[in-house]
Amino acid sequence: MPAIVSVKKLRKAYDTGFVALKGIDLDIEEGEILALLGPNGAGKTTLISTICGITVPTSGSVTVGGHDTIRDYRAARSLIGLVPQEINLEPFEKVENSVAFSRGLFGKPKDPAKVAEILKLLSLDDKAGSKIKELSGGMKRRVLIAKALAHEPRVLFLDEPTAGVDVELRKDMWNVVADLKSHGVTIILTTHYIEEAEAIADRVGIISKGEILRVQDKTEMMNQMGRKELRVDLTQPVDAIPDALSDYKLALSPDGRAVTYTYDTRADRTGIRRMLNDLDAAGLQMADLATQQSSLEEIFTSLVKEQQT
Ligand SMILES: Nc1ncnc2c1ncn2[C@@H]1O[C@H](COP(=O)(O)OP(=O)(O)OP(=O)(O)O)[C@@H](O)[C@H]1O
Ligand SMILES: [Mg+2]
């Protein structure tokens, strides 16, 4: 199946001469959730707004549903919903009118039933007649999503949907995103919260300094690049790790009851067997063993570091 969004050699130099996108290639499949993960200033917003046709690229091209976002702007744009980072709503407007208005902007016929359906999808049905200013911050964010969905786009871009929101609301937003996906909407979101990408994305793109360093299935990325930790619980606590084991760079837990060995899953030899033998020889007796996968956070940090050196 051809990609719903196809980005080719996209470059953006701002008027200041700053190059915010350095030749991005990216294909987005219909129905997936792609998280673009990157630090401040990485180029996430620039990438999204260029894909949405709001920012003009210096070179390269973008198609959405096969339509070029410059030559065929209207057709491409009608397939896209964009949820901006800032809340920019009219405080005295009623929720349902605000959503209906957004629909009108795309030249779609009035359809109160459709508007009601979108409000329901976002659990805003009981707020349809409320004024925006009467809503909580989380509800306002959901109104932004409802407005972006008003013209029934196939692809939804969310620019930092949970920046600065509390944990509960963040989880609420993740549920909304999962729900939209189950309705067939393709979702691209930007975030600098790694746990957010880890929680909801199918694929993760890591972006830094205007380049996509890697884009891959989330689980695959974590399996391939991850380092693993092996925790060995000891039958007797120790004060320090014996010198004979210094090569393994073991970490001792504060209570002295466990040591942790970090190894690379990609290495030919993990060294686990030898380490366990040496542990035994040093008089440390094992009570239990557990392994733990390193998080996306560590992968992300090491990739961005690698780029800088
Ligand atoms: N209109 C502009 N003119 C000049 N430079 C810009 C403009 N907009 C963005 N930039 C620069 O381009 C780079 C990328 O900005 P962008 O907003 O895309 O980053 P971001 O990844 O969205 O960051 P954040 O996580 O802070 O939202 C930054 O260095 C920024 O200063
Ligand atoms: Mg941004």
The CATH number for 262's domain is: 3.30.70.1560
In this structure, are 77 and 205 located in the same domain?
A: yes
In this structure, are 219 and 233 located in the same domain?
A: no
The larger pLDDT score, comparing residue 294 to residue 48, is at 48
The larger pLDDT score, comparing residue 271 to residue 100, is at 100
In this structure, are 41 and 130 located in the same domain?
A: yes
Predicted local distance difference test score (pLDDT) of residue 193: 80
**284: which strand partners?**
none
Q: What is the mean pLDDT of the chain?
A: 89
Percent of the chain beyond pLDDT 90? 65
In this structure, are 180 and 288 located in the same domain?
A: no
Q: Ligand 2 centre from 142 Cα, in Å?
A: 19
Task: Give 123-178 pLDDT, tens digit per residue.
Answer: 899 999 999 999 988 889 899 999 999 999 999 999 998 876 777 778 888 988 99
The whole-number average pLDDT for the span 18-30 is 97
Residue 306 counted as domain residue: no
pTM to 2 decimal places: 0.78
| pLDDT confidence band for 237 (50 / 70 / 90) | very high
Sheet holding 155-159, edge to edge: 80-83, 155-159, 186-191, 33-37, 203-208, 211-217
CA-nearest residue, atom 11 of ligand 1: 20
In this structure, are 239 and 93 located in the same domain?
A: no
Mutate to test the pocket of ligand 1, among 21, 37, 44 (most ligand atoms within 8 A of CB): 44
Q: Ligand 1 centre from 68 Cα, in Å?
A: 24
Among 201, 223, 245, the domain boundary falls at 223
In this structure, are 248 and 186 located in the same domain?
A: no
Q: Ligand 2 centre from 85 Cα, in Å?
A: 8
In this structure, are 111 and 195 located in the same domain?
A: yes
In this structure, are 171 and 236 located in the same domain?
A: no
Q: What is the DSSP letter of 225?
A: H
What domain range includes position 137?
5-223
Residue 302 counted as domain residue: no
CA-nearest residue, atom 18 of ligand 1: 43
Pocket of ligand 1 (CB under 6 A): 14, 16, 18, 20, 38, 40-46, 192
Among 180, 206, 223, the domain boundary falls at 223
**Domain total in the chain:** 2
Among 168, 193, 223, the domain boundary falls at 223
Predicted local distance difference test score (pLDDT) of residue 120: 92
In this structure, are 29 and 168 located in the same domain?
A: yes
How distant, in Å, are the alpha carbons of 16, 55, 169, 173 from that of 160? 25, 18, 13, 11
Residue 170 counted as domain residue: yes
Mutate to test the pocket of ligand 1, among 10, 14, 37, 159 (most ligand atoms within 8 A of CB): 14
pLDDT tops 70 at residue 196: yes
Q: What is the distance of C-alpha 62 from the center of its chain?
A: 21
In this structure, are 206 and 270 located in the same domain?
A: no
Paired tokens of 60: 């390269």
In this structure, are 126 and 171 located in the same domain?
A: yes
The whole-number average pLDDT for the span 9-17 is 96
Bridging pattern class, strands 186-191 and 80-83? unpaired
Q: Ligand 1 centre from 20 Cα, in Å?
A: 7
Predicted local distance difference test score (pLDDT) of residue 99: 96
Predicted local distance difference test score (pLDDT) of residue 76: 95
Residue 300 counted as domain residue: no
In this structure, are 213 and 156 located in the same domain?
A: yes
